[in-house]
Amino acid sequence: MAKALTIEWLDAAAASRVEPARPPFARVLICNLHDPALATLRSVAPNAGDLADAHYPGASGRSHFIERRVVLRAFAARCAGADPDAIRINYDEHGAPRVDGVDLFVSVSSRGGRVALAVASSPVGVDLEPVEVAGPVIEDVLGKRERQVLERLSTDARTRAFVQIWTAKEAYLKAIGRGFKRDPTLVNINVRENMFTVEDTGFPAELAAGAYMTLAEEIVACAVLPPRVAGTTF
């Protein structure tokens, strides 16, 4: 069973003054890119990798891409105790952001200028979703156990539980670097209050674990793989 992990949730002000972290660690910055408290992190100049990736046909809108990337690099640099210019981030062949040359892992989720940026000492994934009380349950992404759990719930509880499953699943699929290229029905999320574990068919049980941060209008899930899973081919 995966060891319980502590994820540090930070706002713009806290992230701007955070000290270098000692592994193992996982930190998530949730903020608005235009928050004045983010000025220090935002002041980093884009590098060649950022400018090249701005043209990558990624899932997210490109309009806030450069701001997102420089804040991610500056935040990663603070976590590593490094100069932001020494941190280089590029997409891998699956579109996952990867840090060049250092043992640091990052993940991104955004809705316009609202972002969740994760930095960790092992593979990490983050997802931010609005909490839509009347949102639909998308059956096609559910694993067998998830279906069984949801079937037992009332309509309102099912909708809430689905948002938790969805955000955790997307965070996990980012942590393994495949996104929805991996069949989401092979993955089952077990929600336990503000934490979750992941079972992925064909892999050792409970490979990954994670936690939620629930805010007024959004939910953020962060999934972290144990270091031994790093390098596993999914």
Ligand X SMILES: CC(C)(COP(=O)(O)OP(=O)(O)OC[C@H]1O[C@@H](n2cnc3c(N)ncnc32)[C@H](O)[C@@H]1OP(=O)(O)O)[C@@H](O)C(=O)NCCC(=O)NCCS
* Phi and psi at residue 156, to the nearest 5°: -65, -45
Please pick, from the candidates 51, 59, 102, 205, the single residue that binds ligand X as defined by CB under 6 A.
59
Closer Cβ to ligand X, 74 or 96, answer by number: 96
Residue nearest to ligand X as judged by C-beta position = 179
d(CA 149, CA 147): 5
Please pick, from the candidates 26, 31, 97, 223, the single residue that binds ligand X as defined by CB under 6 A.
97
Which among 28-36, 39-47, 174-182, 200-208 is the span making contact with ligand X, rule CB under 6 A?
174-182
Position 21 contacts ligand X (CB under 6 A):
no
d(CA 205, CA 198): 8
For the chain, strand residue ranges (E) read: 8-10, 26-32, 89-91, 97-99, 105-111, 114-120, 124-130, 187-192, 195-200, 208-214, 218-224
For 63, how many CA atoms within 13 A lie in the half-sphere containing its CB?
Answer: 7
Min CB(111)–ligand X separation in Å:
7
Closer Cβ to ligand X, 5 or 223, answer by number: 223
d(CA 99, CA 123): 11
Position 221 contacts ligand X (CB under 6 A):
no
Task: Give residues in contact with ligand X (CB under 6 A).
Answer: 58-60, 65, 68, 94-97, 107-110, 127, 170, 173-174, 177-181
